[in-house]
Amino acid sequence: MQIEPQAEHRWLDKLVGKWVSECECSMGPDQPPSKTRGTEVVRSLDGLWVVAEGEGEMPDGDTGTTIMTLGYDPQTQRYTGTFVGSMMTHLWIYSGALNEAKTTLTLETEGPNFGETAMAPYKDIIKFVDDNHRIMTSQILTDDGQWHQFMTAHYHRQ
């Protein structure tokens, strides 16, 4: 079966390449933000999917490894994907859409809340500043119904 990439698949090609990242993360109001650095290599799977393999410093000084997959499903007209990391046991499943300007991909998912007492909605938002700079932010929907941004990562193409 041969499937031709659509415009939505081609948008993902913007992610392909080698990147360096600087990340600031705050896991709670009682914890100071941590700043870390990392690298990411993103490759295409025949123009339909991208696979992003990341490696970076963790706040505790260890090294973490992550793998993100992203594709587009023409049947649901949604971006879809997964995220896993060596620092967690949860498999994050994405469903998302581009904004009208086609600069920002918002991925919705669900995972353990910060206290790991219940599941909570999350958003990972990938915004292209230009072809060589993108920003990813992560947000959680808190118990008070507000979205709390807890992570910002700047990626620069190598």
Band the pLDDT of 101: cuts 50, 70, 90: very high
Residue 142 backbone phi and psi in degrees, to 5: -85, 170
Structure tokens at 109: 């998912």
Residue 60 clears pLDDT 90, i.e. is over it: no
CATH of the domain at 15: 2.40.128.20
Residue 2: inside a domain: no
Q: Per the structure block, which two tokens stand in for 85?
A: 């990391």
Residue 20 and residue 158: Cα distance in Å, rounded? 7
Dump pLDDT digits (tens) for 109-134: 999 998 889 999 999 999 999 999 99
Residues 10-57: pLDDT tens digits? 999 999 999 999 999 986 667 788 899 999 999 999 999 999 999 998
Q: Per-residue DSSP letters for 73-110? A: ETTTTEEEEEEEETT----EEEEEEE-TTSSEEEEEEE
Asked whether residue 75 is domain-assigned, the answer is: yes
Domain count, the chain: 1
Q: Which residue range is the domain that position 143 belongs to?
A: 7-23+32-157
Instruction: Using DSSP bridges, classify how beta strands 133-141 and 34-45 pair: parallel, antiparallel or unpaired.
Output: unpaired
